[in-house]
Amino acid sequence: MLEYVFFDERIRDKFVAQLRSKGVQVSSDELIVEVPEDLDEALADEVDYCYEKLLQETAELMEEGEDALEKNVMGVHVALEDGSACTIRLDPELVARVLNCISMEELRDMAQSIAEGVQNPDNRPLCHT
């Protein structure tokens, strides 16, 4: 399952409604929405695009609030070697810039690769074949 994290229930509910209207089976627990990984590529791209648009909407809502700076957070969920899960906190401004170039799924994949590399270091030269 792919997990999408939200910071506002209204935005989460919009995401769930949009996915369900496309026939995607989702489950939601608090502010996390789980989506099956086996979606066809076109639908998976639509899901990521929808999530990215709603992240921007979330950022705009947070900027309007009095406690905007306190809520300015971002994280990527990764699976650890022992089967547990971990959320890696990231600088939200950096993530916003990165998401102009890559998709949320690519960011998650990169974070997962980094987590795996930290758990199983490979100190061979990069040019090693």
Q: What is the pTM of this model?
A: 0.54
**Residues ≥6 apart with Cβ < 8 Å to 56:** none
Q: What is the mean pLDDT of the chain?
A: 83
Average pLDDT over residues 8-13: 87
Residue whose tokens read 């209204």? 10
Rounded CA gap, 37 and 56, in Å? 23
Of 17-21, 96-100, 122-126, the least confident: 96-100
85 — pLDDT class (breaks 50, 70, 90): confident
pLDDT for residue 91: 85
The secondary structure element, H or E, covering residue 85 is strand 85-90
Q: What are phi and psi of 74, to 5 degrees?
A: -150, 145
Alpha helices in the chain (DSSP H): 9-21, 41-64, 68-71, 92-98, 104-119
pLDDT at 116 over 70: yes
3 — pLDDT class (breaks 50, 70, 90): confident
pLDDT at 70 over 70: no
pLDDT at 68 over 60: no
**Long-range CB contacts for residues 83-88, cutoff 8 Å, separation at least 24:** 86/115, 87/5, 88/114, 88/115
Closest CA to 112 of 82, 77, 75: 77
Go through the chain and tell me how many residues it has: 129
Fold of the CATH domain 1-69: Alpha-Beta Plaits (3.30.70)
pLDDT for residue 14: 93
- Locate 74 and state its tokens: 């971002």
- For the chain, give every domain's residue range: 1-69, 73-121
Residue, of 57 and 18, whose pLDDT is higher: 18
Closest CA to 1 of 51, 44, 55, 30: 44
pLDDT for residue 69: 44
